[in-house]
Chain A
Amino acid sequence: MPGPVQSIERAAAILRLLAQGSGRLGLSEIANSLGLARGTAHGILRTLQMVGFVEQDEATGKYQLGAALLHLGTSYLDVNELRSRAINWADALAARSGEAVRIGTHLQGKLLVVHHVFRPDDTLQTLDVGVLLPMHATAMGKVLLAYDANAAAAVPDGDLEPFSRRTIRTAKELTRALSGIREVGWAADVEETTVGEASVAAPIRGYGGLVVGAMGISGPIERLCDPHNRPRPDLVTFVRDAARAVSRDLGAPRW
Chain B
Amino acid sequence: MAERYVMSIDQGTTSTRCILFDHGGRLVSVTQREHKQHFPRPGWVEHDATEIWRNLEQIGPKALAQAGIGSGEVAAVGIANQRETTVLWDRHTGIPVTRAVVWQDTRTDMLVEELSRRPDAYIVEELCGLHVATYFSAPTIRWLLDHTPGLRERAERGDVLFGTMESWLIWKLTGGPDGGVHVTDVTNASRTLLMNINTLSWDDTLLDFFGVPRAMLPEIRPSAQTYGAATRVMPGVRIAAALGDQQAALFGQTCFAVGEAKCTYGTGSFLLLNTGHEPIRSTHGLLTTVGYQIGDEPAVYALEGSIAITGALVQWFRDGLGLIGTAPEIETMARTVDDNGGCYIVPAFSGLFAPHWRSEARGIIVGLTSYITKGHLARAVLEATGWQTREVVDAMNADSGLNLRTLNVDGGMTANNLLMQFIADVLNVPVVRPMVAETVSLGAAYAAGLAVGYWPDLEGLRRNWHRAAQWLPAMDPALRAREYDSWQRAVERTFDWIKPHEE
Contact = CB atoms under 8 A, between A and B. Distances in A.
Contact of B328 (A80, A116, A117, A129): A80
A117 B332 contact: no
A122 B332 contact: no
A96 interface: yes
Interface of B, secondary structure class, is mixed
Interface stretch (B229-237, B247-255, B461-469): B461-469
Interface string B413-424: 011110000000
Nearest to A68: B325
A92 interface: yes
A4 to B, nearest CB: 32
A78 B326 CA distance: 9
Interface string A208-250: 0000000000000000000000000000000000000000000
Interface string A117-149: 110111001010100000000000000000000
Interface in B432-467: 435-438, 466-467
Nearest to B417: A129
A120 B435 contact: yes
B143 interface: no
Interface stretch (B23-31, B290-298, B336-344, B350-358): B23-31
Contacts, number: 73
Interface residues of B, number: 29
A67 B325 contact: yes
Contact of A117 (B331, B412, B468): B468
Contacts of B204: none
Interface in B444-500: 466-471
A189 B414 CA distance: 30
B437 A91 contact: yes
Interface in A52-96: 67, 78-81, 83-84, 87-89, 91-92, 94-96
Contact of B26 (A84, A92, A121): A92
B323 to A, nearest CB: 12
Interface string B12-27: 0000000000001111
A162 B325 CA distance: 41
Contacts of A79: 332
B332 A80 contact: yes
A121 B466 CA distance: 7
B329 A80 contact: yes
Contacts of A129: 417
A241 B122 CA distance: 57
Given A95-B435, A118-B468, A127-B470, A88 B328 contact: no
A95 B24 contact: yes
Contacts of B331: 80
B302 interface: no
Interface in B4-53: 24-28, 30
B24 to A, nearest CB: 7
B466 A88 contact: no
18 contacts: A80-B330, A80-B331, A83-B415, A83-B417, A84-B328, A91-B27, A91-B435, A91-B437, A92-B26, A92-B27, A94-B466, A95-B436, A117-B468, A117-B469, A120-B467, A120-B468, A122-B467, A125-B470
Given A118-B466, A125-B470, 8 more contacts: A84-B327, A84-B328, A87-B414, A94-B435, A95-B25, A95-B435, A120-B435, A120-B467
Interface of B: 24-28, 30, 325-332, 412, 414-417, 435-438, 466-471
